[in-house]
Structure 1
Amino acid sequence: MIKLTGLLLILSVALTLYTFIDCARRDETQIQKLPKWGWLIIILLTGIFGPIAYLVIGRNPLKNLPKRKPQKRILPPDDDPDFLRRI
């Protein structure tokens, strides 16, 4: 019984840390229903219910995130086909 309680405690702390860091790193536009500081307080003070609420209703789904354009990779001269054509 003690092992199960310890495991549940570790999982609860891990979930709280994950959601706190996730909320802190997200942009304000990606968080719903409350401001970022409100979610951070709820996550810290409500035990397991705050992190679960944040995961369910507090953040936008990943499909609605703005898409990043891939950055153009800088090639060294010997791998760059344009450079090699000009030689």
Structure 2
Amino acid sequence: MLRFLPAILALVLAVYSVVDCVQTPDDRVRGLPKIVWVFVILLFPFAGSAAWWFAGRPGALPLPRREGTGGQRPRRPLGPDDDPDFLKNL
């Protein structure tokens, strides 16, 4: 049973990676076109899956920037007494 473990792990990892690749929007895939990633994952289960997770999969979504903030995120109010809209309605 132990000798089948690498093959089972490769199959599970490849299936999970292919499903993740197919469900990822086309414009978010990095490096190669999505169909090429699917073939790479299927042809090389361990290396292709690792490449997808490290080089092809999209990273975190970039935060939207506001004009004139110098690239910093807008500061959210921490509580109701810091929220100008809440204080305006009192």
TM-score when normalising by structure 2: 0.63
Q: Which amino acid aligns with 2:49?
A: P
For the aligned residue pairs, the C-alpha RMSD in angstroms reads: 1.6
Residues 65 and 39 of structure 1, relative CA distance in 2, 3 Å threshold: farther
Q: Say which SS state the counterpart of residue 45 (structure 2) adopts.
A: coil
TM-score when normalising by structure 1: 0.65
Q: 1:30·1:65 contact (CA, 8 Å) conserved in 2?
A: no
Partner of 1:78: none
Q: 1:32·1:59 contact (CA, 8 Å) conserved in 2?
A: yes
Gaps in structure 1 of 5+ consecutive residues: 67-87
2:38 to 31, 37, 40: 40
Gaps in structure 2 of 5+ consecutive residues: 64-90
Alignment of 1:27-66 (within 5 A): 27-61=25-59, 63-64=60-61
